[in-house]
Structures are given as C-alpha cells and as structure tokens.
Amino acid sequence: MHYDRELDVQGLSCPLPILRTKKALAEMGSGEILHVLATDPGSVKDFQAFAKQTGNELLSSAEIRQVFEYYIKRK
C-alpha cells in the first residue's frame, strides 16, 4: 500500500506508540497516509480506539512475524 510517511515504534510500550503516532499525524496533511510498525500486542486495540476517537481512518492492520503494521489516513 502507498504511504506518505513511515513511523517505527517497535520496542516501545503503551502509550508511546500512540503518542508518537499522534505527533506524526499532526505534522502531516489531510488525506496523507502514515505507515506504523509496532511490536506492542496491546497496540491492536489502542490503534482501533485511537482512530475512532480522533476521526483518522485505520485503513489496514496486520501482524507479520510479531510486528504489527498499521496504515492510518489522516482526516
């Protein structure tokens, strides 16, 4: 999938992946896509809730070899 920016938060625990994602999205333009790589298993629920609360769109989430991958479209 095409993305405009990548954020690697592997090795970080809650709430750092969400906080860094929030900061990265704030620096991006509307409609741009952020690709996030995380290793915190709790990030699955965190990113779903984050997207719902902020209005940003969680386009895709997947787990590949214990790395969670998210594509988030900025509102």
The catalytic residue among 3, 5, 12, 14 is 14
Distance CA 31, CA 11 (A): 28
- Annotated active-site residue 75? The verdict is no
- Name the E strands within the chain: 5-9, 33-38, 57-64, 67-73
Residue the block writes with tokens 């896509």: 33
User: Active-site positions?
Assistant: 14
